[in-house]
Amino acid sequence: METTQAIKSLAALSQESRLSIFRALVRAGSEGLSAGAIAEAVGAPASTLSFHLKELSNAQLIGSRQEGRFIFYTANYSAMSELIAFLTEKCCQGMPARNVARIGQAVSACCGPRAETRKQRKAS
Protein backbone atom coordinates (compact mmCIF):
# COMPACT_ATOMS: atom_id res chain seq x y z
CA MET A 1 0.00 0.00 0.00
CA GLU A 2 1.24 3.44 -0.88
CA THR A 3 1.49 6.07 1.84
CA THR A 4 -1.04 8.31 0.07
CA GLN A 5 -3.64 5.53 0.09
CA ALA A 6 -2.95 4.80 3.77
CA ILE A 7 -3.51 8.48 4.55
CA LYS A 8 -6.83 8.47 2.64
CA SER A 9 -7.96 5.35 4.50
CA LEU A 10 -6.96 6.65 7.90
CA ALA A 11 -8.55 10.04 7.19
CA ALA A 12 -11.82 8.37 6.24
CA LEU A 13 -11.80 6.29 9.41
CA SER A 14 -10.86 9.22 11.66
CA GLN A 15 -14.46 10.42 11.87
CA GLU A 16 -16.74 8.76 14.44
CA SER A 17 -19.71 8.03 12.17
CA ARG A 18 -17.53 6.63 9.37
CA LEU A 19 -15.61 4.45 11.80
CA SER A 20 -18.91 3.12 13.18
CA ILE A 21 -20.20 2.45 9.66
CA PHE A 22 -17.03 0.62 8.67
CA ARG A 23 -17.09 -1.50 11.82
CA ALA A 24 -20.75 -2.38 11.23
CA LEU A 25 -19.90 -3.47 7.69
CA VAL A 26 -16.96 -5.56 8.93
CA ARG A 27 -19.31 -7.31 11.37
CA ALA A 28 -21.90 -7.86 8.62
CA GLY A 29 -19.49 -9.93 6.54
CA SER A 30 -19.60 -10.47 2.82
CA GLU A 31 -23.40 -10.07 2.65
CA GLY A 32 -23.08 -6.43 3.63
CA LEU A 33 -25.86 -4.12 4.75
CA SER A 34 -28.39 -1.92 3.01
CA ALA A 35 -28.17 1.81 3.58
CA GLY A 36 -31.24 1.64 5.83
CA ALA A 37 -29.72 -1.14 7.92
CA ILE A 38 -26.48 0.84 8.25
CA ALA A 39 -28.37 3.94 9.39
CA GLU A 40 -30.24 1.87 11.96
CA ALA A 41 -27.10 0.05 13.16
CA VAL A 42 -25.07 3.19 13.77
CA GLY A 43 -27.79 5.73 14.46
CA ALA A 44 -26.73 7.93 11.56
CA PRO A 45 -29.33 10.23 10.04
CA ALA A 46 -30.11 9.43 6.40
CA SER A 47 -29.25 13.03 5.49
CA THR A 48 -25.56 12.48 6.29
CA LEU A 49 -25.25 8.75 5.67
CA SER A 50 -24.68 9.07 1.92
CA PHE A 51 -21.86 11.57 2.54
CA HIS A 52 -20.12 9.16 4.92
CA LEU A 53 -20.59 6.21 2.55
CA LYS A 54 -19.12 8.28 -0.28
CA GLU A 55 -16.06 9.14 1.81
CA LEU A 56 -15.48 5.50 2.73
CA SER A 57 -15.95 4.48 -0.89
CA ASN A 58 -13.51 7.16 -2.12
CA ALA A 59 -10.97 5.76 0.34
CA GLN A 60 -11.63 2.31 -1.19
CA LEU A 61 -12.63 0.91 2.20
CA ILE A 62 -16.11 -0.17 1.10
CA GLY A 63 -17.82 -1.42 -2.01
CA SER A 64 -21.44 -1.52 -3.09
CA ARG A 65 -23.80 -3.57 -5.19
CA GLN A 66 -27.35 -2.96 -6.28
CA GLU A 67 -30.05 -5.57 -5.73
CA GLY A 68 -33.39 -4.40 -7.02
CA ARG A 69 -34.20 -1.07 -5.41
CA PHE A 70 -31.60 -1.48 -2.67
CA ILE A 71 -27.89 -0.79 -2.54
CA PHE A 72 -25.89 -3.05 -0.27
CA TYR A 73 -22.54 -1.92 1.09
CA THR A 74 -19.69 -4.22 2.10
CA ALA A 75 -16.35 -3.72 3.78
CA ASN A 76 -13.35 -4.07 1.48
CA TYR A 77 -11.46 -6.69 3.47
CA SER A 78 -8.52 -6.59 1.09
CA ALA A 79 -8.04 -2.86 1.68
CA MET A 80 -8.42 -3.39 5.43
CA SER A 81 -5.75 -6.11 5.35
CA GLU A 82 -3.42 -3.91 3.32
CA LEU A 83 -3.88 -1.04 5.77
CA ILE A 84 -3.14 -3.32 8.73
CA ALA A 85 -0.06 -4.67 6.95
CA PHE A 86 1.07 -1.11 6.14
CA LEU A 87 0.66 -0.02 9.76
CA THR A 88 2.51 -3.05 11.12
CA GLU A 89 5.12 -3.34 8.39
CA LYS A 90 8.11 -2.82 10.66
CA CYS A 91 6.63 -3.54 14.02
CA CYS A 92 8.36 -5.26 16.89
CA GLN A 93 11.82 -3.96 15.98
CA GLY A 94 11.98 -5.61 12.61
CA MET A 95 9.76 -8.65 12.95
CA PRO A 96 10.29 -10.82 9.86
CA ALA A 97 7.93 -9.86 7.04
CA ARG A 98 6.38 -13.34 6.95
CA ASN A 99 5.15 -12.88 10.53
CA VAL A 100 3.63 -9.46 9.76
CA ALA A 101 2.03 -10.86 6.61
CA ARG A 102 0.23 -13.41 8.77
CA ILE A 103 -1.77 -10.60 10.37
CA GLY A 104 -3.27 -9.64 7.01
CA GLN A 105 -3.73 -13.28 6.05
CA ALA A 106 -5.61 -13.93 9.28
CA VAL A 107 -7.96 -11.03 8.55
CA SER A 108 -8.53 -12.23 4.99
CA ALA A 109 -9.08 -15.83 6.06
CA CYS A 110 -11.52 -14.81 8.75
CA CYS A 111 -13.45 -12.11 6.99
CA GLY A 112 -12.94 -12.22 3.24
CA PRO A 113 -15.32 -13.65 0.64
CA ARG A 114 -13.41 -16.94 0.62
CA ALA A 115 -14.10 -17.39 4.34
CA GLU A 116 -17.81 -17.01 3.67
CA THR A 117 -17.63 -19.73 1.02
CA ARG A 118 -15.87 -22.05 3.48
CA LYS A 119 -18.54 -21.40 6.10
CA GLN A 120 -21.26 -22.16 3.59
CA ARG A 121 -19.55 -25.42 2.55
CA LYS A 122 -19.26 -26.53 6.19
CA ALA A 123 -22.96 -25.83 6.73
CA SER A 124 -23.87 -28.02 3.71
Residues, the chain, total?
124
Domain 3-76, classified CATH 1.10.10.10, yes or no: yes
CA separation for the pair 72, 59 (Å, rounded): 17
pLDDT (tens digit per residue) in 6-37: 999 999 999 999 999 999 999 999 899 999 99
The tens digit of pLDDT for each residue in 64-113 reads 999 999 999 999 998 998 898 888 777 766 666 566 556 656 666 666 55
Q: So where are the chain's domains? A: 3-76, 78-123
pTM greater than the 0.95 cutoff: no
The pLDDT value given to residue 81: 86
pLDDT at 106: 65
The residues, any chain, with a CB within 8 Å of residue 101's CB and separated by 6 or more, are 85
Percent of the chain having pLDDT more than 90?
A: 59
Q: What sign does the CA torsion over 45, 68, 117, 12 have?
A: negative
Q: How many percent of the chain have pLDDT more than 70?
A: 73
